[in-house]
Structure formats: C-alpha cells, structure tokens
Structure 1
Amino acid sequence: MPGELKGGRLMLAAFILALSNFMVVLDMTIANVSVPHITGSLAVSSSQGTWVITSYAVAEAICVPLTGWLAGRFGAVRIFLISLIGFTVFSILCGLSTSLAMLVICRIGQGLFGGPIMPLTQTLLMRIFPPEKHSQAMGMWAMTTVVGPILGPILGGSISDNWSWHWIFFINIPVGIACAIGTMRLLRSAETPILKLKIDSIGLALLVLWIGALQLMLDLGHERDWFSNSFICSLAVITVVGFVVFMIWEFTEKHPVVDVKIFRYRGFSIATMSLAFAFAAFFGSIVLIPQWLQINMGYTATWAGYLTATMGFGSLTMSPIVAKLATKYDPRALSSFGLIVLGLVTLMRAFWSNEADFFTLALPQMIQGFAVPFFFIPLSNIALGAVRPDEIASAAGLMNFIRTMAGAIGASIAVTIWDDHAKLARSEIVSTMHVQPTQQNLINHGMSPETALGMISNLVDKEALTLSVNHVFLIFAMLFIFAGLIIWLCPKPKGSVGAGHAH
C-alpha cells in the first residue's frame, strides 16, 4: 500500500524518482551542443545532425499520451521499471552507434522508453508521499525538470570536447542501473491496481502514421528539394489525410488514445496553441544557437554549453516567484508579459554579428532565463484550469504531447531555414562583391592566389551563416509576440490548478 515507505527509505525512493526524471530531461538538451561533433564524426550535414534531437523528441511525444493506459493496464511501477531498463539499453546502443541511421533508430528507442518516465515519476511521487507532503514532492520534481536542461548543454559540451560524443549517452548507464535497482527494492509497495483497459489501436496506428510522415517530411524535405520531390509530396499527403482521419476517429472513439474532445474548451485550446508556437521558437533557438557558435564563432562545445546554460540562473530564481504570482494575478497578463519579453530578447539576437563578444551573446540568454517561467507556468495553469477536474490528467498529457511535438518541428524548421537562407545570403553577398581588388590586396601581402580566394570564400560563408541565423531569429521573435497576443483570446480563468499538474 502507498504510505508504507517511511523516513530514510521514503527519501531514497523520492531521490530515485527525481534522478530518473532528471536523466530523461537531461537527454533532451545534452545532444544540442554535441551536434557539430556528431556530424563531423559521422560525416553528415548539420541539418541531418538535428535528426538526433528531433527523433528523440518525436518518439517521446508519441509515448506520453500512452502512459496512462500502459500504467493502468500493466501497473505504474512495472512500466516505470521497464522504461528505465529500455532507456538504459538504448543509451548504450546510442553510444555504440557508427552511422547516422543507427544513431537515429537508437534515439527513437530511447525516446519511446523515456516518454513514460517523466509522467510516471510524478504519479509515483504522489503515491508514496502523504497528501500533505504532495506540494514539497512536486517542488523537488519540478527542480529536476528545470535543472536538467541547464546542465545538459554544459555536460554535453564538456564530454564531447574532453572525451567523445559517445559518452553523452554512456553516462546514463550507471544512473539507469542504480534507478532500476532502487525501483525494484523500494517501490514495489507503490504498485497501482491492474485493470483490463481497452486500447485504441487504430487511433494509435493513425497517430504514429501521421506524426512519422510529418517528421520525415520536415527532416528530409531540405535534402530533397521539398515539393519538387515526389516522395516528399507523398509524405505531405499521408500527413494531411492521416491527421484528418485521426481527428475524426479520436472524436468518435469511446476510449481515445488522445482525448481531442478537450479542445472544446476555448481556454485550453488557445493556451495550448500559444504554448506550441512559443515552444517551437524556444526549442528551435536552443538547438540553433550552439551550432552557430561552434560552426561560425569558433566556440568549443564546452563554451557553447556554458553560454547556452547562462539562462539557467533566471529560470531557477523566477520559477518559485512566478508560481506564487500566478495565484494572485491574471495568468493571461503574466504569460503575455513573458512571451513578449522572449520576443524582444529574440529580436536582440536578430542583430548579432561575427564580432559579437561572449557578453553580447550571453545577455539575451540571461534575460530569457527570467522570462521563461512567465510563459511556462501561467500558460499551463490557464490550459489545465479550463477543463473539468476529471479531465486534468488527459489535458496534461495532450498539452505535453503538443509541446514536445512543437519543439521537434521548431528545431527541424529552424535548421532548414538557416541552411536555405545561408545559400541565398551567400549569393547576394557574392553578387555585390568586388573580389578581384580584395584578392590582389591579399596576394600583395604574401598570400598565394588560391589561399587568398579561399580566405575570401570563408569570410563570405561566415557572413552568410550569420545573416541567415539573424533571419531565423526575426521569424522566432514574431512567433513569440504572436503567442503573447493570442493568449488574450482566452476567457479569464475562474479557478487555479495544482502546480503538480501544471508541470
């Protein structure tokens, strides 16, 4: 029975659950700064390297809505243990990968097993702690969720520079094994009742079909010249038709895999749409910045990680403050403020140059850290406060699914636009340049004609990549501001929702 754990055993069980959550959250961002190392090692382009991030996110997104059914059908502790073992095995396989195809397949496996871990750690913490301690338990859980993305880039950068990128996956092995052993020893008494639940197998198949087709289209479209390629056109048709059929099926199904009826609440729909736009821009930025820093600015993976992580201080400081503010002020105003600040910060990045120093690049990151809790916490409260209490679990699962999918799509689109616009910017720079006098000047300073031309070409490439990254940030700034404005279409929230569900 829940509540059997006391004293030191209870704290150890809570630590194991928090550590498991931390490991999965860390893996969302640990690969971000390592992409240039991975692409260099496997001899693939930067847009192909992004598949390592998006494949994990998409697989995780598909598994999140299934977690409730899996836990009900087989028991929460049993599924949690299987997920931990599967995640650890696929972490080993990711580290042993010798090709991009193998790495992406293993990242999908990692995401499928990692998906249920995050919601199940919440469920099990609520079961082992008495009701009066739930808020402290959720506070500890939320801390690991916030700290994971901050430490991810630092650890990923340091490991890639000092050892090799394979070790960003191998470090999960001791953590995964320790958490699995701890779960077997301590959490058996917290097992949930097993019920004979029906699975919406057709809905699940349609979900996998249209999401898989969409992500393949986004990942391969750039390589295959988009809609001039018949395979990309076929994927687009499968995505659209699959999505429409999926929505109709889920709306009429008695036990849907994704409860789309929750979209009938205007507050939930608008808040989730705002969150999707904002998270696409947010995640796209945190994938793009480390790559640009390493390819263009000569940063090591470690220093790219430090710069990316500078937003952590603000996030940690503001999260508890915003949670308190959300109980006193209109959450629409708080989230709108946070999103517009994020838009203005992203606009600062749209004027970056190749001469920018560390502080110039870190300042927007620091301000962003303070703004992130303002959009995350109130938006979650608006969305979950709009639904009936018995629908909160389904709504939270659906919201997490949409957020994770939006992040994967944002990352794919960001890298594609960056690459495409860089080619356009390069041709525009070349068309206005007078190469001959510059080359002659360099030859006069002792360079060979070939070296001089190579140097000019490198400078043009660097300038084109920076102009292109500025272009992406301009689009993202508009997305943030749009997300901050549409939130006012929500009705004013009547009640509030527990912080545990909001996360």
Structure 2
Amino acid sequence: MSQTAATAGPAPVASRGLVAIALALGTFMQVLDTTIANVSIPTISGNLGVSSDQGTWVITSFAVANGISVPLTGWLMQRFGVVRTFVVSVLLFTLASFLCGAAWSLPALLAFRVMQGAVSGPMIPGSQALLISLFPPDKKGAALAIWSMTTLVAPICGPILGGYISDNYSWPWIFYINVPVGLFCAAICWQGLKHRETPTRKLPVDTIGLSLLVVWVGSLQIMLDKGKDADWFHSSFIVVLAVVAVVGFIAFMIWEIGEKHPIIDLSLFKNRNFSLGTMVLCLGYAVFFGAVVLQPLWMQTWLGYNATWAGLVAAPSGVVAVFLSPLVGRNIAKFDARLFATAAFIFFAISYFMRAGYTADASAEAYIMPLLVQGIGMSMFFVSVLQILLDGVPDHQVPAASGLSNFLRITAGSFATSIITTSWDRRAALHQTRLAEASSAYDPTLRGAVDTLHGMGMTDQQALGSITHSLGNQAYLMSALDIFWVSGWLCLGMIVLVWFTRRPHGGAHAVAAD
C-alpha cells in the first residue's frame, strides 16, 4: 500500500518547480473555462444559428455539471487515489475541450460542455492537495500562493482571452487552446507524482446521496443562472426549481448525516477553523467575484468599452497579485495568517470605497487605480484564508476538505453573480425614476440641454432620446456605486469573522505518497 506524504517527504526542489507549474496550469485552465465562454456567447450563437438566450446554456451546462462533480472529489480520491484522479480528470477535460471546439450544433456543444464540467470537478481541489504535498510544512504558504495566483488571475484573463479570440479568430479556439496545456499538465504531473500516490479504499457508492446531490445542486445552479432572465419568483419555472433545490438539500443533509460512507464528509464542519474559514472564503469570494462580473458588464453596457478593453482595465490587478503572492507565501508562516486575511479585507474595502467615487467620464487610469489596490488584497486573500480553514484537517481529509470548500466557494460565486446583477438593475430603475421625477419640461436645466442638442442638429425626439440615455447612464452608474459602497463595508465586517478562528498552527498535512 502507498504511504502518506509525511513518509514520502517533500519532492526535490528541481522537479518540484516543474510539477508545481503544471499543477497551477491545470487549475488555471479549469477556472479560465468558467469565464472564457461568457463574452463569446453572441459569436457562438450566431455561428450555430441559435438565439443568444439559447446560447447562454453553454455557460449554464458547464456550471451545473461542475457544481455537481466538485463535492465528489473527496470520495473519488479516496477510491482511486489523488494523483490518478487528478491526472485522469485533466485528460478527460482536455478531450472534452477538443470535442467542444469540434461541436457541429448547439445540442452537441451542450453535451460536450456537460462532459467538460463533470470531469473537471477534481481539478481544482486535486491541484490544491497535490501542491501542498510537494512542499515541506514550512513552505506550505508558498504552495498555497501558487494555487491562489491561478485561481484569482484566471477569472480576469477569461473575458480578455475570450474576447480577443472571438474578435480575431474563430470561437472553437477558446476550447482548442486547452489541448496542449492539458496534455503538458497531465504528462508532467503523472511523471512527477505517480510514485507519490495516496492510499486507496474500496468505498461503496452512496447512490441515494449522489442522486439527491444531482437533484438539488442542478436545480440550484439552473435557478441562479436563469433567474434574472425569468424575473425570478414571478416565474413558475424558477419557483419549482427553488422548491426542488430546498427540499432536495434538506433530504440530502438528512441522508448524509446517517450514511456510513457519505458522498460529502460533513464531519469536517466539527473543525471550527474549517467551518468559519470556509464561511470567510465564501463571503469574501462572493464579494470579489460579484465585482469582477459587475464592473466589465457596466463598462461594456454604458461606457462604450468592448469586451477586450473592459477586461484589460481589470488586468493590472491580476499582475499585482501575481507579483506579490510569492512574497506573501514565503512569509505567511512567520506570522499569524489572520493578520494577512485582515489586511486582505482592508485592501479590498479601500478598493471598493475608491470605486464608489467613480464618475461616468472618468479616464481608464481612474478605473484602474482601485483595481491595483484590489490586487494587493488578492495576493493575500486565498493564501491566508486557506491556511486558516485547512488548519487541523487530518491528512486523509485534505482532498475532501478542499473539494467541499471549493464547491461552496463556487456556489457562493454563483449566488453573488445573480444577486449583484439583479440588484444593479433594480437599483438603477429606482435611481432612474427619481431622476425623471426631478426633471420636467419646465426645468431650465433640461430646456437648456434640449436647446444645446437642437443646436447640434437634433430633432426634439432625438434630443429627448439622448437625454433619456444619459439618465439611464447616470442611474446605472449610481447603482454600481451603491453596490461598491456596500461591498466595502461587507469586507470590513468580515474581519470580525476572521478573528473568531483559531490561530493556525502549521495547518493541514499534505496527502501524497510514495
């Protein structure tokens, strides 16, 4: 039988670097695919001869399949081993990516996207567990820094890369680019880690637990993805999905608590640091991801930026995070990880408060500066929070803990996207109503604006249309500023949760084997 990582010891420095890069690329590739298709939906829909509404199922199908498969990571890795599960997952993901690029119709593309999402579940938690196993205990912070860089930068790179490929090449290349990366990642990881495989156990399949998981997670993801378009609970379809998700979740929890070999190991929540750390991870990521979605959407909808340029505005924050994360990783073991988590939330809050001062005619530099501050927070957020939540988790539970925390993080991101975009529209409608009420045909300012537009050759109808558009622009700006302001205060509030956790004492022990 294989031995644990504690027996195997950390990998040699030379091979460790190459394997760490390959593992990071695996994470990057999977996270990238959650966002890269978003900006390409109009192109894909037009090419396949379907509407944009039908095309959005390209995103939903991946999210639903991935949401179901991530919680299964712990069971799969105990049954087949961490290394084998991760490498097979990468190879199947690479195959599914190729098939997505070669899809000849929307049904075919959706089938391959479901496959892509389903097989990619173990990639993020697997890479996290294996990175930890590669490094000695005093370098665990560096391992988490490498992992966090790819997880934070990929959502920013996705829209940029997706927009550029769609604008300059054909859409299948957003999937084909995964093929060489996936083959490299699988080859290097298998060669460097096959002798470190973890012990396996012949666990029975919790068929009922798995079925309930598919029902409630699938219903929840579809509800979150389609809720805004269907006007939420005014739609009977969304109401049915919500009821199924809630009932399915309750039944799932009851079943898993009494199951001897559960699909999800709920005993992890007995660990205070895991419970509170996961809560901090989910809430912090929800606020971060909500802003990642909102700002490019606002800039493209109302400020005239295209997808590529809206993405490039956010790119510097990723660059800052990449440069600072290794520095944080090298030093986090010398200090209390809660200090780094506190600093991360302070920088996030400053960034949001700076964004709450945006104006519609601000320069690109004014939009970039708060994101540079966000990048400093990004460099500390994942490393410190993961150090906290994995503290005290036994060796054999690390993959399950990683899979469960990542599942909850991804779900929190889905909730944040739905809540933020819906709130943005509703607050904008409120602001627009108030702006309209403050104006009248006898308002000197309004009459002056109309006269100015007349002087530019516009008719009454054209002038009023231009003013209406300006009011809409202002309303959506004010709505975005409201959300940024609330996000800043939420970040400061999360610092309190951080200090309810214990100080980490060396954290999780890696699971790898010789």
The interval holding the TM-score normalised by the smaller chain is: 0.7 to 0.9
1:2-50 CA distances to partner (integer Å, 9 max, x unpaired)? 99x99999877665544333322332443455567668886537xx987
Q: Contact between 1:58 and 1:404, CA under 8 Å: does it hold in 2? A: no
- Rounded to whole Å, the distance in 2 between the matches of 1:76 and 1:37 is 38
Which residue of structure 2 lines up, in the alignment, with residue 496 of structure 1? 506
The answer (yes or no) to whether the contact 1:35–1:291 under 8 Å persists in 2 is: no
Shift of residue 388 of structure 1?
4.3
Is 1:342–2:356 an aligned residue pair?
no
In the other structure, the counterpart of 1:453 is 464
C-alpha separation in 1, matches of 2:509 and 2:313: 30
| Partner Cα distance (1:500, 1:143) in 2 | 20
**How far apart in 1 are the matches of 2:193 and 2:243?**
46
For the 8 Å contact 2:393–2:507, the answer to whether it is kept is no
TM-score (norm 2): 0.82
Q: What is the aligned counterpart of 2:324 among 301, 313, 318?
A: 318
What is aligned with 1:44?
A: 52
Paired residue for 2:411, among 389, 399, 405?
405
Q: 1:252 to 1:190 in 2, by over 3 A?
A: same
**CA distance 1:158–1:375, change in 2 (3 Å):** same
List runs of 5+ in structure 1 lacking aligned partners: none
Q: What are the superposed Cα offsets for residues 351-380 of structure 1, whole Å, 9 maximum, x if unpaired?
A: 322111111111111101111233322221
Distance across 1 between alignment mates of 2:75 and 2:179: 28
Q: 2:94 aligns with which of 88, 96, 108?
A: 88
**In structure 2, how many angstroms separate the alpha carbons of the residues matched to 1:498 and 1:13?**
20
Q: Partners of 1:480 and 1:36 in 2: how far apart?
A: 35
Q: More displaced, 100-109 or 112-121?
A: 100-109
Relative to structure 1, the CA distance from residue 416 to residue 94 in structure 2 (aligned partners, 3 Å threshold; closer, same or farther) is: farther
**Contact conserved, 2:87 with 2:190, CA < 8 A, in 1?**
yes
SS in 1 for 2:390: helix
Q: 2:234 aligns with which of 210, 228, 237?
A: 228
Aligned match of 2:486: 475
Q: CA deviation at 1:311?
A: 0.7
Greater shift, 95-104 or 412-421, is seen at 95-104
Match status 1:371 vs 2:377: yes
Shift of 1:303: 1.8
Q: Which residue of 1 aligns with 2:173?
A: 167
SS in 1 for 2:384: helix
Taking a change above 3 Å as real, the CA distance of residues 339 and 296 of structure 1, as seen in their structure-2 partners, is same
> Which of 381, 402, 407 matches 1:396?
402
Q: Distance in 2 between matches of 1:131 and 1:230?
A: 54
Q: Does 1:280 align with 2:286?
A: yes
SS at match of 1:489: coil
More displaced 10-residue stretch of structure 1: 288-297 or 26-35: 26-35
Corresponding residue to 1:297 among 296, 303, 308: 303
Amino acid at match of 2:292: I
Query: Which residue number in structure 2 is paired with residue 421 of structure 1?
Result: 427
8 Å contact 1:425–1:464 — kept in the other structure? yes
Amino acid aligned to 2:476: L
Instruction: Return the alpha-carbon distance in structure 2 between the equivalents of residues 13 and 488 of structure 1.
Output: 35
Q: Tell me the residue number matched to 1:205.
A: 211
Q: Equivalents in 2 of 1:360, 1:87: separation in Å?
A: 39
CA distance in 2, matches of 1:40, 1:459: 30
Q: 1:442 corresponds to which residue?
A: 453
Q: By how many angstroms is 1:283 displaced?
A: 1.0
- State the alpha-carbon separation in 2 of the partners of residues 496 and 434 from structure 1: 66
CA distance in 2, matches of 1:150, 1:157: 12
Deviations, residues 91-144 of structure 1 (Å, cap 9, x unaligned): 2454466888776664443222222123334556678x6979986877766655
Note if contact 1:21-1:145 (Cα within 8 Å) is conserved in structure 2: yes
Q: What is the rounded CA distance, in whole Å, between the counterparts of 2:111 and 2:428 in structure 1?
A: 29
Q: Secondary structure at the match of 1:354?
A: coil
More displaced stretch, 428-437 vs 273-282: 428-437
Moved more, 109-118 or 275-284: 109-118
- 2:336/2:504 contact within 8 Å kept: no
Q: Do residues 328 (structure 1) and 334 (structure 2) align? A: yes
**Equivalents in 2 of 1:38, 1:414: separation in Å?**
26
Q: For the residues of structure 1 that align with 2:410 and 2:395, how far apart are their CA atoms?
A: 23
TM-score (norm 1): 0.84
Q: How many Å separate the matches in 2 of 1:140 and 1:309?
A: 18
Deviation at 1:349, TM superposition (A): 1.6
Deviation by residue 1:145-172 (Cα, 9 ceiling, x = unmatched): 5554454344233223322544322322
- Taking the aligned partners of 1:345 and 1:11, their CA distance within structure 2 comes to 33
Paired amino acid for 1:408: S
Which residue pairs with 2:69 in the alignment?
Answer: 63
Q: State the alpha-carbon separation in 1 of the partners of residues 117 and 412 from structure 2.
A: 16
Q: CA deviation at 1:284?
A: 1.3
What do you get for the CA RMSD once the two structures are aligned? 3.7
- What letter matches 2:236 in structure 1? S
1:464 pairs with 465, 470, 475, which one?
475
CA separation in 1, counterparts of 2:427 and 2:474? Answer: 12
Contact 1:33 1:304 in 2 (8 A): no
Task: State the alpha-carbon separation in 1 of the partners of residues 150 and 338 from structure 2.
Answer: 26
The 1:94–1:65 alpha-carbon spacing in structure 2 relative to 1, beyond 3 Å, is: same
Q: Secondary structure at the match of 1:356?
A: coil
Distance across 2 between alignment mates of 1:39 and 1:462: 28
Deviations along 1:379-428, whole A, 9 cap, x unmatched? 21221114445543332222122112111221222222223333333333
2:52 alignment partner AA? V
Counterpart residue identity of residue 172, structure 1: N
Check 1:483–1:165 CA distance in 2 against 1; reply closer, same or farther (3 A cut): farther
Separation in structure 1 between the aligned mates of residue 143 and residue 339 of structure 2, nearest angstrom? 28
Residues 428, 102 of structure 1: CA spacing in aligned structure 2 closer, same or farther, 3 A cutoff? farther
- Report the CA distance between 1:276 and its aligned residue: 0.9
> C-alpha offsets along residues 335-355 of structure 1, whole Å, 9 cap, x if unaligned?
123113212311222232211
- State the aligned residue count: 496
Distance (Å, rounded) in 2 between the aligned partners of 1:300 and 1:188: 45
Partner Cα separation in structure 1 for residue 15 and residue 389 of structure 2? 36
| 2:498 corresponds to | 487
The Cα of 1:441 is off from its aligned counterpart by 4.1
